């Protein structure tokens, strides 16, 4: 399979921007107050009465979950598992906490069937990262349905960081993925890699200094080919920027980069693409 990114450009240039920081005072939002209250060191940030009001009357989801955590863990209150389950049950986001309590027998008898039902309810409700929670539960229960497990991780690639490493780990353990799944995975891998490249290029003082020597914008196109059995891709210059030293600087940058987690289909000899870099020294 050959994938071309003809419209993708990373702009390498000087940046001038101000980052503003806002300190939290007494006027922090109710959501933030509730979130902070779920730490064992932060039980005085919000009164129990206000926390209950925000969770039950105002129905603020973060307050429902954080109040459940306070009662489950005894943060600023005496642990009360019934109250913890009550507050968790007020929103779909609490289903995974209820499932965890059932799975681990926290304040109740261990109930794997109930835990699985709740994990699946969380997925059905569209709670972020819930597919990962269900997949990990199924792995812990040594489910034979590895196809469902891999599909759950795949569905969560864009919404949950843990899905990325979990799917790679599953593949490395010998669980096969379909060609369609691998294509989706490759697309996500490429997006994730592009984002990391853009950040690292902008952070490199040496590259910024070299780019600063240019008077005009130019385009350099690099070709990448990930072949089976190789730890690093073959990298080539598809189109020169017209400045040999810039070509070599950027080629060296990518040759020193790390590349992890790429998966090839059985029918693929290589996973290849072209990366155009718009190089400019102008202030942006």
Q: Tens digits of per-residue pLDDT, 97-156?
A: 999 999 999 999 999 999 999 999 999 999 999 999 999 999 999 999 999 999 999 999
Residue 23 pLDDT greater than 90, yes or no: no
List of residues 6+ apart from 21 with CB closer than 8 A: none
Say what the pLDDT of residue 41 is: 55
Q: What are phi and psi of 257, to 5 degrees?
A: -75, 160
E strand or H helix that includes residue 64: helix 61-73
Q: Out of 27-41, 94-108, 156-170, 194-208, which region has the weakest mean confidence (pLDDT)? A: 27-41
Say what the pLDDT of residue 43 is: 52
**CA R_g for the chain:** 25
Coil vs helix vs strand at 239: strand
Say what the pLDDT of residue 42 is: 54
Say what the pLDDT of residue 83 is: 97
E strand or H helix that includes residue 185: helix 179-203
Say what the pLDDT of residue 5 is: 37
Residue 16 pLDDT greater than 50, yes or no: no
Maximum CA extent, the chain:
71
Say what the pLDDT of residue 40 is: 58
Number of H helices, E strands in the chain: 12, 5
Q: Determine what percent of the chain is predicted with pLDDT higher than 70.
A: 87
Say what the pLDDT of residue 261 is: 84
Mean pLDDT along residues 156-181: 88
Residue 20 pLDDT greater than 70, yes or no: no
CB 87 within 8 A of CB 53: no
Query: Is the model more confident about 101 or about 15?
Result: 101
Mean pLDDT along residues 63-91: 94
Going through 46-126 in order, the beta strands assigned E by DSSP cover none
Cα 211 from Cα 216, distance rounded (Å)? 10
CB-based burial of residue 166 (10 Å sphere; 0-12 exposed, 13-18 middle, 19+ buried)?
buried
Look at the pTM and tell me if it is higher than 0.95. Answer: no
Q: Which residues pair with residue 12 across a beta bridge? A: 279
Residue 11 pLDDT greater than 50, yes or no: no
CB 96 within 8 A of CB 61: no
Task: Work out the pLDDT band at 230, boundaries 50, 70, 90.
Answer: confident
Going through 46-88 in order, the beta strands assigned E by DSSP cover none
* Structure token digits, residue 164: 């990325």
Cα 93 from Cα 87, distance rounded (Å)? 11
Query: Is the model more confident about 249 or about 8?
Result: 249
E strand or H helix that includes residue 205: helix 205-211
Mean pLDDT along residues 224-246: 90
């Amino acid at each position: 399979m050959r994938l071309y990114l003809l419209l993708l450009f990373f702009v390498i240039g000087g940046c001038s921007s101000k980052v503003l920081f806002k300190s939290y005072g007494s006027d922090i939002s109710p959501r933030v107050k509730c979130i902070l209250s779920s730490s064992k060191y932060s039980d005085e940030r919000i009164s129990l009465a206000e926390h209950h009001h925000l969770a039950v009357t105002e129905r603020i989801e973060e307050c429902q979950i954080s109040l459940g955590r306070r009662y489950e863990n005894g943060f600023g209150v005496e642990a009360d598992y019934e109250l913890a389950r009550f507050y968790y049950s007020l929103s779909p986001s609490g289903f995974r906490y209820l499932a965890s309590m059932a799975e681990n027998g926290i304040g109740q008898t261990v109930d794997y069937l109930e835990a699985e039902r709740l994990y699946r309810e969380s997925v059905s409700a569209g709670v972020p990262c819930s597919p990962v929670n269900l997949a990990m539960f199924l792995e812990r229960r040594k489910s034979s349905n590895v196809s469902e497990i891999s599909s759950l991780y795949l569905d969560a690639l864009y919404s949950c960081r843990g899905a990325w490493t979990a799917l790679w780990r599953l593949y490395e353990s010998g669980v096969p993925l379909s060609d369609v799944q691998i294509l989706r995975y490759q697309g996500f891998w490429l997006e994730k890699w592009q984002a990391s490249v853009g950040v690292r290029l902008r952070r490199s003082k040496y590259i910024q200094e070299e780019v600063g020597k240019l008077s005009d914008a130019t385009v350099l196109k690099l070709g990448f080919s990930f072949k089976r059995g190789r730890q690093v891709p073959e990298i080539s210059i598809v189109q020169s920027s017209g400045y040999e030293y810039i070509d070599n600087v950027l080629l060296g940058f990518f040759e020193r980069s790390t590349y992890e987690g790429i998966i090839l289909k059985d029918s693929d000899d290589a996973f290849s693409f072209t990366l155009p870099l718009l190089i400019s020294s102008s202030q942006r």
